[in-house]
A and B are shown apart, each in its own frame.
Chain A
C-alpha cells in the first residue's frame, strides 16, 4: 500500500499539521534515526487521567531534609502515560502502530494490566457484535478467539529497538484497500495528498482497535 518514500511524505505532512484539532491526527512529531536515514517514524505522548501505582523503594530511608515554605507540597499523582508511534513495516509495506504504556518512572505496564484498567479503553473490544470483549489476553498478546494472528503483541520498535506493543498489520492491509476504494478522495488529489489521505484512513482503522484520543 505504501512505499517507504510515500510513508515518509504522508507522515511529514501529518506532523506539519500537528495542531489540527482531531484527536487521531494531532500532536504527531516526525523523528529520524540518530545515525541512519530512511528509518524515520512518527511519535506522540499523552497522559491519561488514570492513576497508577509506583513501585516502592523500601530499601531507601528518607535521607535528606528540605524545609521550604515556598515549595508547594503537592500530592504526587502518578498518571498513566502513553507513548504512540507509527513506523514502517517493509514486509507488509504498511504503517504499523506501536504503543507503550507506563508510569512516571518509565515502568511499562503488561498487557493484562493495561486491559484490566479498561477505564483506559485503550484497546477497543468489538462490543457491538454481541460476543465482544471476549479477548484472550496473555502477557504478550491479545488474541481474538479463532483468529490466527494476535491482534496486539509485544515486539521491538523497528527504529528504536525498544519493546512495545503493536497492532499486527495483517488485517489492516485488506481493510485499508477497501476503505481507499470506498473513499474515492484519494484518487482525485495529487500524489502527496493521496498518501496523506491514505495514512489518515489507516489511522481511522487503527482507531477501531485502539483509543486514539489524547
Chain B
C-alpha cells in the first residue's frame, strides 16, 4: 500500500454569504431584475486559509475554505477585503421556487464549464486566465415575502483522470525550504501588490539564488528552463489539503504548459506547488502556515477535449442540495416599524421626562365613537403616542368631501358608493403602522329624540349590547360624533362603567374638549375644586333631542375652519395622556381656572406632563384657549345618579324610553320642574358638535 502514490485531495470551497448580500439581491430583484431571469455577474472573494484559536479549548481550529459574498457583490467596482482574491461568478435568480427546483442544473453547470475550458485553452495571454480559473455559479430563489433565500453554489473544477498524485515527501511547511528572510520577502511582494495575485510563478533571483521573485502566470510563456515553483493564494487551512483554486490551475498548466512541466524522458508532469497562506502580519520563525509540495500527473491523458468537471457545493447536512438563508427575524417590516416607533417615544422619555410612564399610555385601549375629521386626527395622535389598540365606531361611508379633511381616507375610498368609514379608518391605520391592533365597527348609536320604530327594536337592542361590550373592552372612550344627542348613550355607559370619557366638539371657529368626571369623584378633591366634575350634558338645562331634522345643510354639516379639528383632536389626546400620567388617573382633580401653576412638585393638580384641566374651550378668532371647570349637575340627563341608577336597574327598557319619549329624561331628572320654575328660556350654549363635513 505504501508504494501506492497518494492522490491529491483538494479542500472544496465553502460559501460564506453575508446578510448584506441578501439585502442587495432583494434590491436588485425589485429595482432591476424584476421578473427577468437573466444571468448577472457577481463578485466574490477569498483570502488565505486561517485558523483561529478556540477561546475555550485553546486549540487551533481550521476555518473553512471560504468564498465570501458581501453587500457590494453586484457593484461594478466591488472592493474586495485586503489581501483577498477577487472572483467573478454568474448569478441566476429564479422567480418561483418551482422554477428553481426544476432548473436543469447539470446543463447550467456544463455551460459554465464549457465556457471556462474554451477560454483556458484559447486564451492568448495567460495573464488573463486567473479570473477564468475561479469562475463560479450561483442560482437563487428569493422569497421576498418571507425573507427566505434559497441558493446553491457551484465551483466548477476540472477533474484530472487519472488524478494528480502527491510526491512521497508530502505537503511540507515552507520553512524547511525557504529562509525566514526569503519568506518575509515573498510575503511583502504578495501583500503589497495592488491586487492580490490569485496565482503566480516563483523564481529565484538570477543574481542571488536565496532571493525569490513572484511573476505573473504569463511569464511561463517566456521562461527558460529554470527551477519553477507555481504558487497560489490558498484558501484552505488544512495542512495536508490544498484549496480548490489549485485544481483549475493544475488543469490549466497541464493543458497549456504540458511540455514545460514534463520531466525529460518520463511520462509524467511534475509541478512544485506553493500554497501561500500567510497574508497577515509576518509570522515569527516556526509559525509560517504556507505549504510546499510536488504533485505529478501521468501523461496518458489527452487534453484536447474538456475534462469532466465537479464542484456543486454540499449543504450543511452534507447533501448535494440547496441551502437556505432566513432573514425574517431581522427583516419583517412590521416588527421593524414597531421597534422604531417605540424607540422614538423612548427618546422623548430619555431626553425630557424620565418618569413618563409610556407603558400606561401604550396599554390604554381606546374606543373612538366617530371616524370623521375628529376621529381620524385623534387616531393619528394616539398612534404617535404608542397606543396599540384603537377601535372605530361609525355608521357612515366615506364620501367625496371627506378625504381632504379626514386624514385616514383617500379619493379611492369614496368610489363605488364609498367604503364603510370605521373599517376604512382601521385599515388605513394598519397601513400607516402594521403593528397597530385597529378594528372598525359599522354601527349607528341610538339617540334620544330619534324614536325607534317597533320593527327596529331588536336591532337597537343588539346595537346597545354591542356598544356595552365595546365599553367593557376598552379603557378610554372618545366622543367624536356629529350630533349632540348621539353622545348621550355613550355618556351614560361611560359613567356607569367608570371609563375615561373624552369629548371633543367643533363650532365654526371654536371648539370644546372635555373629560367627563368620574362617577365616584375624587376622594380627596383639593379645596376649591368640585368633588365630581361634570359631563357634556351637565351645563344643559334641556335634554338632548333631535337636532338634525329641520336644519339647513350648513347647520347640519359642520362648517368649521379646517385647522380646528386637528387642534381639538390633539388637545383631546394630550388631555387623555396627561390624565393617564396623573397618579389619580380618571379621578385627577381639575385645577381652578385661576390656578397659578408654580411648578410645585407636590401640587395635587400636576401630572408629570403638567396640569389636567377639566374643559378647554378654544376660540380661533382670538387664538385663545380657556381652561374651565364645571361641577357635575345633580339633574344632569347624562351622568346624574338618577339616570345611571335607572339604567342600571332597567337596562335597555330605560334606554328605549329615553330614545322614544321626548320628555322622558327631563321628567326623570326633574328638569321639567326646573323649566316650569324658570319660564325664561335659557339658551343652551350651542356647540355645533359635528365633524361630518360637506
| Chain A residues in the interface with B (C-beta under 8 A) | 18-19, 21, 29, 31, 34, 45, 47-49, 54-57, 60-66, 68-72, 74-79, 81, 83, 100, 102-108, 110, 119, 121, 139-140, 148-149, 153-155, 160-163, 170
Q: Tell me whether A34 and B16 are in contact in the complex, defined as CB-CB below 8 angstroms, given that A140-B339, A148-B346 are known contacts.
A: no
A65 and B310 in contact, given A47-B52, A74-B11, A153-B343 (Cβ under 8 angstroms): no
One digit per residue, 1 when the CB lies within 8 angstroms of any chain A CB and 0 when it does not, for chain B 564-607 equals 00000000000000000000000000000000000000000000
- CB contacts (< 8 Å) of B346 on chain A: these are 148-149
| A–B pairs, 13, beta carbons within 8 Å | A55-B325, A57-B315, A66-B312, A69-B9, A70-B8, A72-B11, A75-B318, A76-B317, A76-B318, A105-B323, A148-B350, A153-B339, A163-B336
| C-alpha gap A49/B60 in the complex (Å) | 9
Taken together as a complex, chains A and B put the C-alpha atoms of A74 and B163 apart, in Å, by 19
Q: Chain A nearest CB: distance from B567 CB in Å?
A: 30
**With contact pairs A34-B77, A72-B241, A148-B350 given, residues A64 and B106 touching in the complex (Cβ less than 8 Å):** yes
* Residues of chain B within 8 A of A155, CB atoms compared: 340, 343
Q: How far apart sit A153 and B71, CA to CA, in the bound complex (Å)?
A: 22
Minimum CB distance partner of B281 in chain A: A19
Q: Which residues of chain B (316-352) have a CB below 8 Å from chain A?
A: 316-327, 329-331, 335-336, 339-340, 343, 346-347, 349-350
**Assuming A70-B159, A105-B323, is B316 touching A54 (CB within 8 A)?**
yes
Q: Are A63 and B56 in contact (CB under 8 A)?
A: no
How distant is A193 from chain B, measured CB to nearest CB, in Å?
A: 22
Residues of A within 8 A of B65 (CB): 74
Interface check B17, CB cutoff 8 A: yes
Of the stretches B18-26, B365-373, B539-547, the one at the interface is: B18-26
Query: In the assembled complex, which residues on chain A have CB atoms less than 8 Å from the CB atom of B71?
Result: 160, 162
Contact A76 B316 (CB under 8 A): yes
Cα distance, A81 to B21, chains bound together (Å): 14
Q: Please, which residues of chain A bring their CB within 8 A of the CB of B326?
A: 55, 105, 107
Given the known A-B contacts A70-B10, A77-B64, are A63 and B321 also in contact in the complex, defined by CB atoms under 8 Å? yes
In angstroms, Cα B331 to Cα A119, docked, is 26
**Contact: A57 with B64, CB < 8 Å?**
no
Q: How far is the CA of A71 from the CA of B52 in the complex (A)?
A: 24
Is B159's CB under 8 angstroms from A105's CB? no
Q: How far is B412's CA from A115's CA once the two chains are assembled, in angstroms?
A: 48
Minimum distance in angstroms from A142 CB to a CB of chain B: 13
Please give 10 more A-B residue pairs, beta carbons under 8 A apart, in addition to A71-B9, A71-B12: A21-B281, A57-B324, A64-B105, A70-B160, A76-B314, A105-B326, A106-B18, A106-B22, A107-B326, A121-B55
Q: Is B5 an interface residue (CB 8 A)?
A: no
CB nearest neighbor in A for B313: A76
Q: Which of A54, A61, A105 has the most CB of B within 10 A?
A: A105
Are A160 and B281 CB-contacts (below 8 A) given A18-B82, A70-B10, A108-B330?
no
Contact between B20 and A56 (Cβ–Cβ < 8 Å)?
Answer: no
Cβ-neighbour of B17 out of A57, A105, A153 (below 8 A)? A105
A75, A155, A163, A170 interface centre (most CB from chain B within 10 Å): A163
- The answer to whether A104 and B17 touch (CB under 8 A), given A56-B317, A57-B324, is yes
A64 in contact with B163 (CB, 8 Å) = no
Is there a chain A Cβ closer than 8 Å to B487's Cβ? no
CA distance A121 to B11 in the complex (A): 31
A72 touches B12 (CB 8 A): yes
- The closest CB in chain B to the CB of A72 belongs to B9
- Evaluate whether A62 and B19 lie within 8 angstroms (CB atoms) in the complex, with A47-B52, A55-B326, A70-B160 already known: no
Distance, CA A69 to CA B12, complexed state (A): 12
The range of chain B's interface size is: 35 or more
Q: Say yes or no: A69 contacts B241, CB within 8 Å.
A: no
7 A-B pairs closest in CB distance: A54-B316, A106-B17, A105-B325, A148-B350, A49-B54, A72-B9, A163-B330
Given contacts A68-B159, A121-B55, contact A60 B19 (CB under 8 A): no
Q: CB-CB < 8 A to A79: which residues of B?
A: 63-64
The interface centre, meaning the residue of A61, A102, A110, A119 with most chain B CB atoms within 10 A of its CB, is A102
Bound Cα distance from A78 to B64, whole angstroms: 9
- The DSSP consensus for interface residues of chain A is loop
B residues in contact with A77, CB < 8 Å: 64
Q: For the complex, give the distance between the alpha carbons of A20 and B529 in Å.
A: 72
Contact status B327-A57, CB under 8 Å = no
B150 contacts A66, CB within 8 Å?
Answer: no
- The answer to whether residues A148 and B354 also contact, given A71-B12, A105-B324, A106-B18 and a CB cut-off of 8 A, is yes
Do A119 and B163 have beta carbons less than 8 Å apart?
A: no
For the complex, give the distance between the alpha carbons of A106 and B327 in Å.
Answer: 8
> B11 and A57: CB pair below 8 A?
no
Tell whether, in the assembled complex, residue A104 and residue B82 are in contact, meaning their CB atoms are under 8 Å apart.
no
Given contacts A108-B329, A163-B330, contact A62 B14 (CB under 8 A): no
Is B641 in contact with chain A by the CB < 8 A criterion?
A: no
A43-B68 Cα distance, complex, nearest whole Å? 15
Residues on the B chain within 8 Å of A66, using CB: 310-312, 320
Q: How many whole Å from A104's CB to the nearest CB in chain B?
A: 5
The docked-state distance in angstroms from the alpha carbon of A6 to that of B11 is 45
Residues on A with C-beta less than 8 A from B335 are 139-140
User: Do residues B321 and A62 form an inter-chain contact, with CB atoms below 8 A?
Assistant: yes
**B68 neighbours in A (Cβ, 8 Å):** 45
Q: Does B101 contact A (CB under 8 A)?
A: yes
Q: How far is the CA of A63 from the CA of B82 in the complex (A)?
A: 37
**Chain A proximity mask over B395-422: 1 for CB below 8 Å, otherwise 0:** 0000000000000000000000000000
Cβ-defined contact, A160 with B23, below 8 A: yes
The CA of A77 and the CA of B23, in the complex, are separated in Å by 24
Cα A60 to Cα B321 with chains together (Å): 6
Chain A residue with Cβ nearest B160:
A70
CB distance from A145 to the nearest CB of B (A): 14
Q: Which of B234-280 contact A (CB under 8 A)?
A: 238, 241, 247, 280
Alpha-carbon distance A196/B238, docked complex (angstroms): 38
Contact A71 to B310, CB < 8 A, known contacts A106-B327, A163-B330: yes
If A47-B63, A68-B159, A107-B326 touch, whether A62 touches B16 (CB-CB below 8 Å) is: no
Flag if B329 contacts A110 (CB, 8 Å). yes
Residues of B within 8 A of A149 (CB): 346-347, 350
Contact (Cβ within 8 A) A49 B7 = no
- CB contacts (< 8 Å) of B18 on chain A: these are 45, 81, 83, 100, 102, 106
Task: Check B555 for interface membership: any CB of A closer than 8 A.
Answer: no
Expressed in whole angstroms, the Cα–Cα distance for A83 and B69 within the complex equals 13
